[in-house]
């Protein structure tokens, strides 16, 4: 049950776009379109931002978008704002045995 691989940190300037990658294997990200992304503020519970690779829950800004190619999923945040400066985690379904696997998390810095 190896974790998905995310960069430890990414940064961007206000108004710019950034992309966070999430690399798994053919047993999880590569096979299932059940990749989700979570935003987590310090000391708070994670919040769902993207589900099923690219779908946005009601209430989530359209500045957040998701995609997938092969074994790698990506979260793109456009029009960076200071309030986006928190941690982001990806998650993928891993099959009937593994069930779910998370990425190690990425800290976004808005310069």
Partner 1 sequence: EVPLLESGGGLVQPGGSLRLSCAASGFTFTTYAMTWVRQAPGKGLEWVSTITDNHGPTYYADSVKGRFTISSDNSQSTLYLQMNSLRAEDTAVYYCAKEWEGSFDPWGQGTLVTVSS
Per CB under 8 A, 45 contacts partner 1: yes
Contact segment (CB under 8 A) with partner 1 among 10-18, 22-30, 73-81, 99-107 equals: 99-107
- Residue 36 or 71: the one with the smaller Cβ distance to partner 1 is 36
* CA–CA gap between residue 30 and residue 21 (Å, rounded): 14
Give yes or no for residue 103 binding partner 1 (CB under 8 A): yes
Are 17 and 76 contacting, i.e. CB atoms less than 8 angstroms apart?
Answer: yes
Q: Three-class SS string for 5-74?
A: ECCCEEEECCCCCEEEEEECCCCCCCCCCCEEEEEECCCCCCEEEEECCCECCCCCCCCEEEEEECCEEE
- Per CB under 8 A, 104 contacts partner 1: yes
Nearer CB in complex with partner 1: 6/71? 6
Distance from C-alpha of 71 to C-alpha of 32, rounded to nearest angstrom: 10
Q: Is 41 in the site for partner 1 (CB under 8 A)?
A: no
The reply to whether 89 sits near partner 1 by the rule CB under 8 A is yes
Instruction: Return the DSSP state at 4.
Output: B
Chain positions contacting partner 1, by CB under 8 A? 1, 3, 32-34, 36, 38, 40, 45-48, 51-52, 55, 57, 89, 91, 93, 96-97, 99-105
């Amino acid at each position: 049950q190896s974790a998905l691989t995310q960069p430890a940190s990414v940064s961007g300037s206000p108004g710019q776009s950034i992309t966070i990658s999430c690399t798994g294997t053919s047993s999880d990200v590569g096979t299932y379109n059940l990749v989700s992304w979570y935003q987590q503020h310090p000391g708070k519970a994670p919040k769902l931002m993207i589900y099923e690779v690219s779908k946005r829950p009601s209430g989530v800004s359209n500045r957040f978008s998701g995609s997938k190619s092969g074994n790698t999923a990506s979260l793109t945040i456009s029009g960076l704002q200071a309030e986006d400066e928190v941690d982001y985690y990806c998650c993928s379904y891993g099959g009937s045995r593994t069930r779910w696997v998370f990425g190690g998390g990425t800290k976004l810095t808005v310069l």
